[in-house]
Structure 1
């Protein structure tokens, strides 16, 4: 897929991985629309970017998803790429009866999975009108293996991974629509601070690997340590009936 002259919407684009990707895409000659819940953070992010505009809104809320999709249709009819990057993650101790594990899981599943499905369905008609288009889902190394610290977050990313595979199969015969999945490991961002993000890779590394994959039409995009797991498991998954 082309790496310039796209019009790209990035959810969670005011910080972290989303902001890093916005910087790379903007510098490569794309028009970028960043989204986030906090207007102040969006405006601060815009100061670091060129040829970028912002749409404030919380994509975890159904009415907001509908509104934002409408704004994209009317204000940016040339939109040809969405990057579903907004996420939620909580440390979730399943052994603690006072932890309210189900509420944390609900928020993660709603933001990381249900909201992505709904928002993507809302903008797909617009994407399918373009000569070349893409849906990019920011998944995680956690999609492959859960742990006791992030059991429900991992489950939400596993669900996103399965959905992405199904979406790719659905449009396999449509040469104009490409479905990408990016698998970062732990990344050093404010979002991941609670889960040890200080030990992670820089967000710019995720952005670099994504742009390289975009140019190569590489739809599976493992980053950092995920490359080792992906190299072992992806050939097995590809042999499974689908």
Structure 2
């Protein structure tokens, strides 16, 4: 699809991967709408972007999702790309009975999966009205294999992965709206600091890969180490009935 002249909404756009994507797309001549929970962080991020605005809100909250979707419909009717990037993650030791594992998992599932489905549904009429549009869901390398540090986060991203495949299939006959899935590995952001994010790739690399994929209409977007796993797994899973 075209990589300039779009109007792009990015959740979790005030830092990390979301901000890196915002910078890349802003520099390419797109209008950017960043979203996040902190107004202060959003205003700081706007100083690094051209042709950008911010809409504060927590997409894990139903009322905020409805409000933001209505704002987009009213004030940005030309919106043609949404990037579902906002996420929640907890170190979650499943062997510790006092760890409140289920509560942590519930928050991750709500933020990383349920809210994405709902917000996408709320904005879908707007996207379907455009000549060319895209939905980008940011999943993770952990959709292919969980680990003991982030097991419930991995499960929530695996759910998002499955939903994304189903959404792509559901929209397969619509040539104007495409569904992308972005699979970052470990990325050096504040979000991943607790799990050794300093050893990860820069968020700009994730943004560069997404930009290249949009240019090529490459709907599966593995990044860094994820490419090795994706190259092995994807050809097999694509043979399953769908």
TM-score bracket for the superposition, by shorter chain length: over 0.9
SS in structure 1 at match of 2:21: helix
Gaps of at least 5 residues in structure 1 are none
Q: How many angstroms apart in 2 are the aligned matches of 1:85 and 1:145?
A: 20
Q: How does 1:223-238 map to 2 (within 5 A)?
A: 223-238=223-238
Q: Unaligned stretches of 5+ in structure 2?
A: none
Q: Distance in 1 between matches of 2:202 and 2:89?
A: 18
Whole-Å Cα distance in 2 between the matches of residues 175 and 215 of structure 1? 16
Shift of 1:118: 0.2
- Per-residue deviation, 1:194: 1.4
* Partner SS for 2:97: coil
C-alpha separation in 1, matches of 2:191 and 2:71 = 26
Corresponding residue for 1:2? 2
1:1-242 to structure 2, matched below 5 A, reads 1-242=1-242
- What TM-score, normalized by structure 1, do the two folds share? 1.00
Q: Any idea what SS the aligned residue of 1:192 has? A: helix
Displacement after TM superposition at 1:198 (Å): 1.0
Instruction: State the shift of 1:196 in Å.
Output: 1.5
Structure 2 Cα separation of the partners of residues 199 and 115 of structure 1 = 30
Distance of 2:148 and 2:21 partners within structure 1 = 30
Could you tell me the TM-score, scaled by structure 2's length?
Answer: 1.00
What is the distance in 2 between the residues matched to 1:49 and 1:126?
A: 24
CA distance, structure 2, for counterparts of residue 147 and residue 42 of structure 1: 32
Alignment RMSD: 0.4
* Count of aligned pairs between the two proteins: 242
Q: Distance in 2 between matches of 1:187 and 1:89?
A: 14
User: d(CA) in 2 for partners of 1:47 and 1:25?
Assistant: 15
- Deviation beyond 2 Å, 4+ runs, structure 1: none
**Whole-Å Cα distance in 1 between the matches of residues 164 and 21 of structure 2?**
20
Distance 2:196 2:144 in 1: 19
